[in-house]
Amino acid sequence: MKKYRGMAGLTLCAALLCLMLTALGESARVVTHGGQLNMRKAPDDKAALVDTVPNKALVEAVEIGEKWTKIIYKRQSGYVKTEYLKLATQLEGKTVYADGDILMMREEPREDARLMRPISAVEPVHVISVADGWALAECGGAEGYVPTVGLSYQWEQPAGTVAWIHERGTVTQDCPLLKEPKEASGTEGALTAGQDVAVTLLDKEWCLAVSDAGCGYIPAALVVLSGPVDGEIAAGEGIQPMEAAVKAEEALRKKFRAFAKEPLYCVPAIYAESGAQGGLYHCGFFNGQDQYLFGALVDAETGKTVCLASYTGFAAPVRTVDLLPAGEIKLNASGENLSVGDVWQVTVSAWTEHACRYALSRDGAAMEVSEDTGHFRAAFRPREAGTYEVTVTVTDENGRTESASCSFSVSDQVNGEITFPTVYSQKDGWWVDKQYRHSNLQKSGCAIFTLSTALQRMGHTESGILPENLAADYARCLIRGEGTSNELLIKLASKAFGFKTRPALYTDQKEIVNLLQNGAMFTFSIARGHIALVTGLSPDGTMAMVADSAPGATYERIVNCGMYYPMRSGVYRAALSVDELPGALWYFETGEYGGLEYYLPVSYLARRGVRLIQPVAEDAQEEVNGP
């Protein structure tokens, strides 16, 4: 986890660097496709090599040309290709992010100007204008100046995240707002006892406070934290000594040995929770890239974890679990009267979230029993009419077991209209008896589901695009022992349904982005033995929307990548389980997840290679597919 002891030194270095670059010329950021940039003695590809410049390095552009630019890097000068530089002046009108952990906004374009507010690594910054090493920018409704050297020049997503806590607080006594986290560092203003502040950074001695009086550092011992800003945790009683927070960290590490090597950051905030004994501390585990793994509220004295929660937004508070009194179970079902093929859902509330088991019967005859799981929300898709009963058995960590049941009826009546889901659920149990040559769609239908989804999104509504009909029409595409030949499937379907494709896969990231921006879709091998559909692009062009009929298979097999979803801040976060993805639904009959939409980096698509599905106008179909 990143620490803040060097904050003052970093601020001074940034100031000196900003002054140095301003004196020499225009600052620029090296942006390559990942490798280093060659710096040559002359503006010529055959000129001698002076040095190589790392990707994302900050350099000084002193002579800017259309093809070549003379730069200064580490006291050496030379020429680099202009296309691999992002200039400070190109920031104007763009929305970018802080290049490091934290960026300070000031009232005027100089280092000694009054601080207005800190900008976190995940807050978007809109640049209005750039001059003399400073950018006039807007962030979070405030307008002020930030040094251009502190901004990302890549117009992508934030470089990383920090322990940004954003807690409400009250000052306990009069104190100055300091420019840096140390005594006698100059003041930004003054706070009075009882004044409200927002605390955004916190270490063992200092915290960064934002108030009506200004922004600056105050001793952590002088502020009482009362809960996350705009959070859901009730107001509490104050900060406990740091020694108690250290005990909470030790207790949490001891209990969760699997995370013993992960950095742990413990915010020493106490919350008033009904039934809680003593102080509750807001703790969080992070991985090596400072990505939040999960949070906890833990009792500092006993080490008892009151609740755990995955991080659903930045900076979202850890949410407490609404548990029932000991031994009680409540089932909240989606309906009592269904038709064959409808999806029935149930949410289980209980006194614990230790383990849950589902048993299903139809017309009094037992059908399926799941294993004990951590899924307290589940679904079922009936294939036959009848009266169904689901019995849910909950077991706590002490072995206590309680059960509850609910019933629903399923009729044979179905709506005569053809309806298409947003994403097909290959593993929901419905497709197990739908034949696909020598197999069935539940086992081997991922490419068929992907094609059906693509045709639906191109506007087709005829019954021929239903998965079972596509499986019959293109049965020869399923090769025994190998799975579906996606190339053959898409080739045949392009002629039948009038869309454009080609035999070769697309592997160039820029081409893929351009085609997606122009309405194309792609099918591809998202992981070993599994096909999914690329349907769209994130606003910044770095992430691709994926429709996946069997996300559980992807999660188990995907290599060197993650399945992402957007957080409230606009940052895309890799899910630590399928359950974290919005809309995830677990089917207790099969023990599998339903279909989902989520995001993958476009770079991952390029590495795998993607197959084009390009809709075309009706009058152009003959030209595309031939006579």
Q: Is pLDDT larger for residue 146 or for residue 225?
A: 146
Sheet holding 292-299, edge to edge: 264-267, 280-286, 292-299, 305-309
- For residue 504, give Cα distances in angstroms to 458, 491, 612: 22, 11, 9
Q: How far apart are CA 163 and CA 284, in angstroms?
A: 9
Q: Is pLDDT larger for residue 314 or for residue 384?
A: 384
Output the pLDDT for position 337.
92
Q: How far apart are CA 161 and CA 554, in angstroms?
A: 26
- For residue 524, give Cα distances in angstroms to 206, 445, 528, 574, 578: 51, 14, 11, 20, 20
Q: 410: which strand partners?
A: 338, 386
Q: Mean pLDDT of all residues in the chain?
A: 79
Q: Are 522 and 534 in contact (CB under 8 A)?
A: yes
- The pLDDT tens digits for 198-217 are 777 655 577 788 887 888 88
Output the pLDDT for position 31.
81
Count CB atoms within 10 A of the CB of residue 424.
Answer: 28
Confidence band (pLDDT; 50, 70, 90) for 57? confident
Closest by Cα among 605, 614, 612, 613 to 509:
605
Quote the strand ranges of 528-566, DSSP E.
530-537, 543-548, 564-566
**CA angle, corner 547, sides to 541 and 552, nearest 5?**
120
Q: What would the two tokens of residue 248 be?
A: 């909470």
Q: Please state the rounded mean pLDDT for residues 554-578.
A: 78
Confidence band (pLDDT; 50, 70, 90) for 252? low
- The pLDDT tens digits for 229-246 are 443 332 233 333 334 444
Q: How far apart are CA 604 and CA 545, in angstroms?
A: 12
Confidence band (pLDDT; 50, 70, 90) for 253? low
Q: What are the DSSP calls for 134-158, one per residue?
A: EEEEEETTEEEEEEGGGB-SS-SS-
Contacts of residue 514, Cβ cutoff 8 Å, sequence gap at least 6 = none
Confidence band (pLDDT; 50, 70, 90) for 588? very high
**Interstrand relation of 572-574 and 483-484 (parallel, antiparallel or unpaired):** unpaired
Q: Which residue segments constitute the domains of the chain, with CATH numbers given? A: 7-150 (2.30.30.40), 167-228 (2.30.30.40), 238-309 (3.10.450), 329-411 (2.60.40.2550), 435-615 (3.90.70)
- For residue 403, give Cα distances in angstroms to 30, 245, 367, 394, 598: 61, 38, 18, 6, 35
Q: How far apart are CA 228 and CA 200, in angstroms?
A: 10
Output the pLDDT for position 185.
82
Output the pLDDT for position 305.
56
Q: Are 26 and 134 in contact (CB under 8 A)?
A: no
**CA angle, corner 423, sides to 417 and 429, nearest 5?**
80
Instruction: State the residue for tokens 């104050």.
Output: 238
Q: Is 481 exposed, middle or buried, given 0-12, 13-18 or 19+ CB atoms closer than 10 A? A: exposed
Output the pLDDT for position 310.
40
Q: Please state the rounded mean pLDDT for residues 76-97.
A: 88
Q: Considering only 110-114, 449-453, 471-475, which range has the smallest mean pLDDT?
A: 110-114
Cis peptide preceding 315, ω within 30 of 0: yes
Q: How far apart are CA 481 and CA 252, in angstroms?
A: 48
Q: What would the two tokens of residue 259 be?
A: 């995370």
Q: Is pLDDT larger for residue 486 or for residue 263?
A: 486
Q: Is pLDDT larger for residue 204 or for residue 159?
A: 204
Closest by Cα among 118, 111, 116 to 133:
111
Confidence band (pLDDT; 50, 70, 90) for 266? very low
- Reply yes or no on whether the pLDDT at 25 is more than 50: yes
Q: Is 43 exposed, middle or buried, given 0-12, 13-18 or 19+ CB atoms closer than 10 A? A: middle
Q: Are 365 and 384 in contact (CB under 8 A)?
A: no
**Both ends of the chain: CA-CA distance in Å?**
63
- In 3-state terms, what secondary structure has residue 17? helix
* Size of the chain, expressed as the number of residues it contains: 627
- Reply yes or no on whether the pLDDT at 316 is more than 50: no
C-alpha neighbours within 13 Å on the C-beta side of residue 377: 8
Output the pLDDT for position 531.
98
Q: Please state the rounded mean pLDDT for residues 275-282.
A: 45
Output the pLDDT for position 97.
78
Output the pLDDT for position 162.
37
Q: Is 6 exposed, middle or buried, given 0-12, 13-18 or 19+ CB atoms closer than 10 A? A: exposed
Confidence band (pLDDT; 50, 70, 90) for 268? very low
Under DSSP, the state recorded for 93 is T
- In 3-state terms, what secondary structure has residue 473? helix
- For residue 50, give Cα distances in angstroms to 38, 80, 325: 8, 10, 72
Q: Is 293 exposed, middle or buried, given 0-12, 13-18 or 19+ CB atoms closer than 10 A? A: middle
Closest by Cα among 237, 241, 246 to 220:
241
Output the pLDDT for position 249.
55
Q: Is pLDDT larger for residue 459 or for residue 319?
A: 459
Q: How far apart are CA 282 and CA 517, in angstroms?
A: 42
Q: How far apart are CA 40 and CA 52, in angstroms?
A: 9
